[in-house]
Every structure is written in structure tokens, then in C-alpha cells.
């Protein structure tokens, strides 16, 4: 069984490499620096007196596909639908002269992704906003967290503009999907390779 498994993985890796769009990770425009630690990625940008970081993790970032019912009709030579990674991401805005960090928890609403052409709508939404002490790795549950579900829309718009002024806008969100998808695919291939070595190991 293991031999067949290893052979299957070898073929699978070959296929995945064939459809791999990016040999190296795509860049995000606007002067963002990228750091990657395993499945977690961090984008950092400094502007006058502020540091903006955007963190996301590719684990569980691929929404469940809606095409599961149609798989019966899929012709054998058809390409599988392309998987897109739309991770939640956290934006932190740190001002040099304060001890607080403004933290905005953002995500891609499942029904929004893929509706191009609607100029008005943003492709990501802000879910929660809070202040956290700068430099603390553990965030406190005792700090007030603003949930945007019941938020005055004018305040919400200002928050979106606040992000856009710092380079976190629809273009950024599109490029983040691109980057995350490439990173996810890269990690998937690496996982298949590790699995193959593990299966072959006697």
C-alpha cells in the first residue's frame, strides 16, 4: 500500500508543480516588506510616524468549494477549479508616540469574493477593532473590542478610509489573496513532499 501511496504522491507533486503559477512569491505593491514563518505571513510598511503590519495565516484559508455537487459531470481532462486562499488578516497600526496599537481584524466575506464589476463594494470587511498595548504579544480579553456588526455606517466608512490611507485597500486585498494563494500552494507542495518522504521511510 505504501508503495502505491508514494507513487501517487510523486505524480500529484508533478501535477501541482505544473500548475504552480508563481515560482517565487508575488510581491505586494506599495512598499510592503514580507516575512514568512511557515504558514504565517507578515507584511510590514512604515509611513510617517507609523508602522503598519498585516498578519495572516494560510491554514484553513481556502473556503469550502461550492462545486462539490457538479463533480459527477466533470470530464476527466478538465482542470479542477482554481483554489483561492482568502485568509482573515489582522492590521495593526502603531504610532511612534503612543503606547497603544490599533488592531483591526479583517476578513473576506464569502459571498463577496469573485463579484468583480461591482465598483462600490469592498472585497474585505472589518470585523473587530480594539486597542492593544504596543509590544505585548498576548492580547488582553479585558480590552474593549468593537464589533462592527452594530456599528454606525459612517464610523465604519471612516475606519475603511483610515485603512485605505495606509495602503490597505481593495488593490492590497486583491494582492494579498494572490500572495496567500501562492504561499498556500507552495506549502501544499512542500507538505506532499514531506508526506512522500515520510511514507517511504522504513
CA distance 121 to 178: 19
Closest CA to 182 of 67, 85, 43, 114: 85
CA distance 4 to 12: 12
- Give the structural domain span for 170: 1-59+83-110+120-196
CA distance 202 to 200: 6
Q: 130-147, pLDDT tens digit by residue?
A: 998 887 667 677 788 999
CATH of the domain at 4: 3.10.280.10
Distances (CA, A) of 34 to 103, 122, 155, 187: 19, 24, 30, 16
Distances (CA, A) of 80 to 10, 14, 70, 77, 90: 19, 15, 11, 9, 31
pLDDT at 82 over 70: yes
CA distance 185 to 181: 6
Mean pLDDT over 23-31 rounds to 90
pLDDT at 72 over 60: no
CA distance 48 to 29: 18
> For position 111, what pLDDT does the model report?
64
Whether residue 73 is contained in a domain is answered as no
Q: 107-137, pLDDT tens digit by residue?
A: 999 765 444 444 458 899 999 999 988 876 6
> In sequence order, which residues have a C-beta less than 8 Å from that of residue 176 and are 6 or more positions away?
28, 43, 54, 56, 87, 89
SS3 per residue for 149-172: HHCCHHHHHHHHHHHHHCCCCHHH
φ/ψ of residue 176, rounded to 5 = -65, -40
Whether residue 128 is contained in a domain is answered as yes
Whether residue 74 is contained in a domain is answered as no
Whether residue 72 is contained in a domain is answered as no
This prediction has a pTM of 0.84
Whether residue 115 is contained in a domain is answered as no
Mean pLDDT over 14-27 rounds to 89
Whether residue 181 is contained in a domain is answered as yes
For the chain, what is the domain count?
Answer: 1
Whether residue 52 is contained in a domain is answered as yes
Q: Are 99 and 133 contacting, i.e. CB atoms less than 8 angstroms apart?
A: yes
Q: Residue 133 has which C-alpha cell?
A: 498595548
Angle between helices 170-200 and 2-19 (to 10 degrees): 150
User: In the structure, what pLDDT confidence band is assigned to residue 70 with cuts at 50, 70 and 90?
Assistant: very low
User: In the structure, what pLDDT confidence band is assigned to residue 99 with cuts at 50, 70 and 90?
Assistant: confident
> In sequence order, which residues have a C-beta less than 8 Å from that of residue 113 and are 6 or more positions away?
63, 84, 86, 123, 177
Q: Are 80 and 62 contacting, i.e. CB atoms less than 8 angstroms apart?
A: no
Q: Residue 187 has which C-alpha cell?
A: 506549502
> For position 12, what pLDDT does the model report?
95
Whether residue 40 is contained in a domain is answered as yes
Amino acid at each position: 500500500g505504501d508503495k502505491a501511496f508514494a507513487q501517487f504522491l510523486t505524480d500529484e507533486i508533478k501535477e501541482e508543480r505544473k500548475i504552480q503559477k508563481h515560482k517565487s512569491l508575488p510581491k505586494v505593491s506599495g512598499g510592503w516588506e514580507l516575512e514568512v514563518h511557515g504558514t504565517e505571513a507578515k507584511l510590514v510598511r512604515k509611513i510617517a510616524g507609523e508602522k503598519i503590519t498585516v498578519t495572516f495565516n494560510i491554514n484553513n484559508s481556502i473556503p469550502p468549494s461550492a462545486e462539490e455537487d457538479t463533480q459527477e459531470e466533470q470530464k476527466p481532462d478538465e482542470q479542477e477549479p482554481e483554489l483561492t486562499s482568502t485568509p482573515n488578516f489582522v492590521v495593526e497600526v502603531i504610532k511612534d508616540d503612543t503606547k497603544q496599537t490599533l488592531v483591526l481584524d479583517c476578513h473576506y466575506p464569502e459571498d463577496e469574493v469573485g463579484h468583480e464589476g461591482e465598483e462600490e463594494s469592498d472585497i474585505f470587511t472589518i470585523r473587530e477593532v480594539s486597542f492593544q498595548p504596543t509590544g505585548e504579544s498576548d492580547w488582553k480579553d479585558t480590552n474593549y473590542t468593537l464589533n462592527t456588526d452594530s456599528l454606525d455606517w459612517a464610523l465604519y466608512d471612516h475606519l475603511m478610509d483610515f485603512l485605505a490611507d495606509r495602503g490597505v485597500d481593495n488593490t492590497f486585498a486583491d494582492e494579498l489573496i494572490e500572495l496567500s494563494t501562492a504561499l498556500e500552494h507552495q506549502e501544499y507542495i512542500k507538505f506532499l513532499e514531506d508526506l512522500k518522504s515520510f511514507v517511504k521511510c522504513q
